[in-house]
């Protein structure tokens, strides 16, 4: 590796007071990372490591914590813990103990690629290089009433809102001594919808509410796409079988056309009555990313080059759910998953360094390692290195992977010896 221009700590001409961890340098010398999720947190760490701590990093997020989003399907657990949601987050305040990375809490509102400025709700940050890792948000696909009348799990606050609504619903049915069970409809037959439906159907709501509560009836509306489309045949076979055991009713082959109050209208004229509806039908890039003046791909995600660089913007990269990366081997979009975001991060970091040293950029090579989908009641269905796994062992493996990711995210905050 060629030596980096520097030392950056001497370039203090436009230093901003308060950027203590940057040693007083201007942020225009820094790599600014937008979003501290799975992708952003790892990129920040990797840029420091790969540049041998010569490139200062500013990490920006709207929250003072990073959300472990892959665990938001555990809505019954969220309902059970009342206030202590520490298990679902990694606090970012500790990152300030880390020399060279500055955490800035703020809502990103704009990016000016020409002036090299990021606009926050309460100020501006200049950047030398930029990494856009702002994740994704729920997509309603223009279905009338879906936004107004459904809950979702794509953000922590929304998952908590759903958890509290479910708990209140269960408590109400128990209190009123109603003979029937509440009917929950989950829209979306991908992994998120499947996991949420199974979690609701198999949770011990009596324990959550502290009163003998009915077991909800759960219907999973898959829409026109097959259940768990894109996953392996073995995984789908066992997921379908275990969903049956969990008493989740599958409604397949018909899209939702509108939601009004407690009614879910399907294209074939069917109307499902529900006491609560969860929308888990898909994601899109955040509104900010969709509005950027860059090429866009599926769901408004940034259509990056194989090097994860934004076309026509040298030194600007995107990854994770914000980026649309096409696998040259298959011509298909690489799925929006945490495991992909985490593996893209070292490539982005290497390319941030390469841009500073005029070295060639590296492409991201996607290798599918496996997936495991939780289907409630301590069961899961998965495929790991082309081997199908299911039941309790699959659930234990998923829990172990999630624990590894949780620890890794925390260690990126408090790495030993730094």
Ligand X SMILES: Cc1cc2nc3c(=O)[nH]c(=O)nc-3n(C[C@H](O)[C@H](O)[C@H](O)COP(=O)(O)OP(=O)(O)OC[C@H]3O[C@@H](n4cnc5c(N)ncnc54)[C@H](O)[C@@H]3O)c2cc1C
Q: Which of 232, 286, 307, 409 binds ligand X (CB under 6 A)?
A: 286
Sketch the per residue contact string, 357 through 376, with ligand X: x for CB under 6 A, - otherwise. Answer: --------------------
Please calculate the CA angle 60-65-66 and round it to the nearest 5 degrees: 80
Q: Which of 30, 48, 58, 73 binds ligand X (CB under 6 A)?
A: 73
Distance in angstroms (rounded) separating the CA atoms of residues 77 and 63: 22
Among residues 153 and 347, whose Cβ is nearest to ligand X?
153
Kindly state whether residue 320 participates in binding ligand X, applying the rule CB under 6 A. Answer: yes
Q: Write down the residue that tokens 């203090």 correspond to.
A: 12
Say whether residue 66 binds ligand X (CB under 6 A): yes
Q: How far is the CB of 414 from ligand X (least distance, A)?
A: 18
CA dihedral 144, 148, 152, 154 (to 10 degrees): 80
Closest CA to 282 of 263, 303, 256: 256
| Distance of alpha carbon 28 from alpha carbon 50, whole angstroms | 19
Q: Does 318 bind ligand X (CB under 6 A)?
A: no
Helix axes 391-411, 233-245, angle to 10 degrees: 110
How far is 121 from 108, CA to CA, in rounded Å? 7
Contact with ligand X (CB under 6 A) among 336, 349, 353, 375 = 336
- How far apart are the two ends of the chain, measured CA to CA in Å? 23
Select from 33-41, 50-58, 75-83, 220-228 the region that touches ligand X (CB under 6 A).
Answer: 33-41
Residue 154 interacting with ligand X (CB under 6 A): yes
Cα distances from 75 to residues 184, 220, 258, in angstroms, run 13, 16, 25
DSSP-derived 3-state class of residue 35: coil
Residue closer to ligand X by CB (options 147, 178) is 147
The pattern of x and - marking residues 179 through 198 that bind ligand X according to CB under 6 A reads -------------x------
409 binds ligand X (CB under 6 A): no
| Residues in 102-121 that interact with ligand X by CB under 6 A | 107-108
Question: Which stretches of the chain bind ligand X, using CB under 6 A?
Answer: 35-40, 60-63, 66-67, 69-70, 72-73, 107-108, 133-135, 153-154, 192, 286, 288, 320-322, 336-339, 341
């Amino acid at each position: 590796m060629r030596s980096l221009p520097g030392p950056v700590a001497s370039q203090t001409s436009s230093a901003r007071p308060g950027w203590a961890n940057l040693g007083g340098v201007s942020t225009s010398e820094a790599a600014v990372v937008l979003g501290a999720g799975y992708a952003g947190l790892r990129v920040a760490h990797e840029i420091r490591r790969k540049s041998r701590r010569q490139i200062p990093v500013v990490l920006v997020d709207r929250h003072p914590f990073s959300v472990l989003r892959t665990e938001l399907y555990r809505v019954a657990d969220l309902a059970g813990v009342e206030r202590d949601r520490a298990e679902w987050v990694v606090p970012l305040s500790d990152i300030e103990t880390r020399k060279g990375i500055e955490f800035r809490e703020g809502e990103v509102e704009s990016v000016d690629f020409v002036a090299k400025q990021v606009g926050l709700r309460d100020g501006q940050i200049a950047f030398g290089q930029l990494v856009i890792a702002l994740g994704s948000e729920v997509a309603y696909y223009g279905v009338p009433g879906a936004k107004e009348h459904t809950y979702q799990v794509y953000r922590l606050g929304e998952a908590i809102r759903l958890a509290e609504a479910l708990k209140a619903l269960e408590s109400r049915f128990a209190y009123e001594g109603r003979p029937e069970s509440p009917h929950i409809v989950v829209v979306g037959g991908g992994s998120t919808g499947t996991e949420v439906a199974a979690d609701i159907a198999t949770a011990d709501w009596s324990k959550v509410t502290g009163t003998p509560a009915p077991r909800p009836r759960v219907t999973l509306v898959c829409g026109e796409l097959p259940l768990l489309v894109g996953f392996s045949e073995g995984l789908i076979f066992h997921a379908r079988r275990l969903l049956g055991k969990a008493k989740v009713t599958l409604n397949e082959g018909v899209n939702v056309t509108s939601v009004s109050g407690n009614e879910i209208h399907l294209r074939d004229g069917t109307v499902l009555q529900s006491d609560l509806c969860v929308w888990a039908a898909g994601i899109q890039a955040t509104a900010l990313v969709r509005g950027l003046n860059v090429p866009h791909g599926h769901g408004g995600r940034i259509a990056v080059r194989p090097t994860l660089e934004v076309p026509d913007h040298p030194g600007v990269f995107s990854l994770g759910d914000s980026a649309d990366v096409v696998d040259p081997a298959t011509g298909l979009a690489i799925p929006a998953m945490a495991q992909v975001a985490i593996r893209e991060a070292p490539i982005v970091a290497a390319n941030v360094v390469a841009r500073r040293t005029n070295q060639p950029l590296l492409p991201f090579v996607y290798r599918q390692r496996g997936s495991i989908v939780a289907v409630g009641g301590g069961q899961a269905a998965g495929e790991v290195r082309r081997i199908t796994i299911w039941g309790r062992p699959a659930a234990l493996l998923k829990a172990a992977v999630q624990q590894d990711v949780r620890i890794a995210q925390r260690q990126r905050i408090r790495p030993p010896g730094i």
